[in-house]
Amino acid sequence: MNMKINRTILFILSLTLTASSCWAWIAGFSSETLVTHQDLADKQTLYLAGYGILGNREATGIHDDVSARSLYLSDSNNSVLIISLDAVGFSQKLGKRLRKALSEELEIPSKNILLTATHTHSSIDLQGLWGSLEEEQASVITKRIVKSGKSAVANARSAKLMLGLSDQGKGYNRRLKSNEIVSQVLSLNITEKNGNPIAMLFSFGSHPVALDDNNLEITSDWVGFSRDQIEKELGTRAIFINGSLGDVMPSLDGKPSNKRTFEFAKEYGESIARAVIQADKNARELNSHLAYCTEYIPLEVDNLKIITLTKTVRNGTIDWSSLTDTSLNTRTSVLILDRLVIMSVPGEPVTQMSQQLMAKAPLFDRALFSLTHDSLGYLIPEEDVGRKDGYEEMFNLNRSFGTHVSNSIDRLLNQCLGKQRTISTN
């Protein structure tokens, strides 16, 4: 561990000893650009991920920066490092590489590093299905992401956490063909004791596909416009985690939208930003208590399309142990911040799946972090798998994927909350 990180850890320990109980939160933020104009000027071929397969969208330019945004949170006893990547997802191979590098540099357990993807369909391919990265490119990207995580820890200081919730999120449910979505928008405003901003974590579930496959410019899609507006209005830095996005498409009126332009991305993104800012106006302070529970879950994959595709491209999308193996391990987690329960899942939960998960902790404020730990396709309630017109089934690992994740979240809630899960403390 280098001297800079040693000094940072000593500083955090000093904060632990001197902070009062209401100021025992410690937080730090940092951001690094994932792709630069120089990368493209160097004649590197970079493929956009999210539509089609196997490198059919070569990036022609950068519309707006895509980034790795990192948030370190600690209550002086437990800590997590959350890293949000502007990408459609990330391969299991890259995820392991990043967690290993960060854990070794920071002496944070790799299981306490929550990698997540915003799911923009117009950023570089970190998942390995749309052209992937050359090793030299992957090495550069890894260094940038690790730098973001290290800097977040180095920037850690005493903090106050303010939680806001609203139900003003908008979208169209393509699976149910209705406006039924999880409309909750979460704001977590993190400041210093004197009110100086550290970061705003916000979460809502919707696909960042305001741009379609005709777009060849690198962009964070509507997510970037949301972040920009929040940063402009509140004078802070913003980090986004996608929520119940599995079957939700951008829409301002709950109906299918044919608009696929940067103008629409801006309009939709700013509508989500307004919901975040409104939630923050009614925010309440969180007491300093962080609990974190996580586990591996083994899965057997029987979706032949996924097996064939990932074994053909062989870019580590799924970390198969051999060409004949069809089993994998993934991770789920539960993060408790005072009375806020955050359930993290390794895929894209459809609305019905999200509703079932959030109902598991009815006495608490709840949120979902999707595409976290892994990027493994759609999560569908087992009883709903097999819809005649269900698009999500094409990228569902197996019929019981949702059940395995649901059961795991149950175990973790019991572990993290115990009797509090059924006893109100309000």
> Does the structure show a pLDDT above 90 at 12?
no
Q: How many CB atoms lie within 10 A of CB 260?
A: 15
pLDDT reported for residue 21: 47
Is residue 332 within 8 Å of residue 412, measured between CB atoms?
yes
Q: For 53-77, what is the mean pLDDT? A: 93
pLDDT single digits (tens) 183-198: 999 999 999 999 999 9
- Cα–Cα distance between 381 and 407 in angstroms, integer? 12
The three-state secondary structure class of 148 is helix
Within 10 angstroms of residue 277's Cβ, the number of other Cβ atoms is 20
pLDDT tops 70 at residue 289:
yes
* Type of residue at 46: L
List all residues 6 or more positions away from 20 whose beta carbon is below 8 Å from its beta carbon. Answer: none
- In single-letter form, the type of residue at position 262 comes to F
Residue 424 confidence (pLDDT): 59
- The beta-strand segments (E) located in 317-418 are 327-337, 340-344, 348-349, 365-369, 378-379
pLDDT in tens, 97-110: 999 999 999 989 99
pLDDT of 8 reads 47
- Note the pLDDT tens digit of each residue in 303-355: 999 999 999 988 889 999 999 999 999 999 999 999 999 999 999 999 999 99
Pair 301, 397: CB distance under 8 Å: yes
Q: Which residue in this structure is represented by tokens 């979208």?
A: 171
* Cα–Cα distance measured from residue 407 to residue 426, given in angstroms and rounded to the nearest whole number: 27
Distance CA(224)–CA(239), nearest Å, equals 10
What CA–CA distance (Å, rounded) separates 34 from 293?
Answer: 30
Structure-block tokens of residue 288? 């300093």
The neighbouring-strand residues paired with 29 are 71
Work out the mean pLDDT of the chain and round it to a whole number.
93
Domain boundaries, the chain: 3-285, 290-421
pLDDT of residue 18 exceeding 50, the answer is no
Element (H, E) at 96: helix 92-106
Q: Is the pLDDT of residue 388 over 70?
A: yes
Side-chain half-sphere exposure of 29, counting CA atoms within 13 A: 19
Q: At what angle do helices 92-106 and 135-154 cross, to 10 degrees?
A: 40
How far, in Å, are 111, 212, 293, 339 from residue 215 at the CA level?
A: 36, 6, 40, 42
8-state DSSP, 360: T
pLDDT band of residue 23 (cuts 50, 70, 90) is low
Structure confidence by residue, pLDDT tens digits, 110-147 = 999 999 999 999 999 999 999 888 899 999 999 999 99
The alpha-carbon radius of gyration of the chain (Å, integer) is: 20
Q: How many CA atoms lie within 13 A of 3 on its CB side?
A: 0
Per-residue tokens: 338: 């005072």
Predicted TM-score (pTM) of the model is: 0.94
Is the per-residue pLDDT at 22 higher than 70? Answer: no
DSSP string across 187-221? EEEEE-TTS-EEEEEEEE-----SS-TT--EE--T
Give the integer Cα–Cα distance in Å for 341 and 292.
10
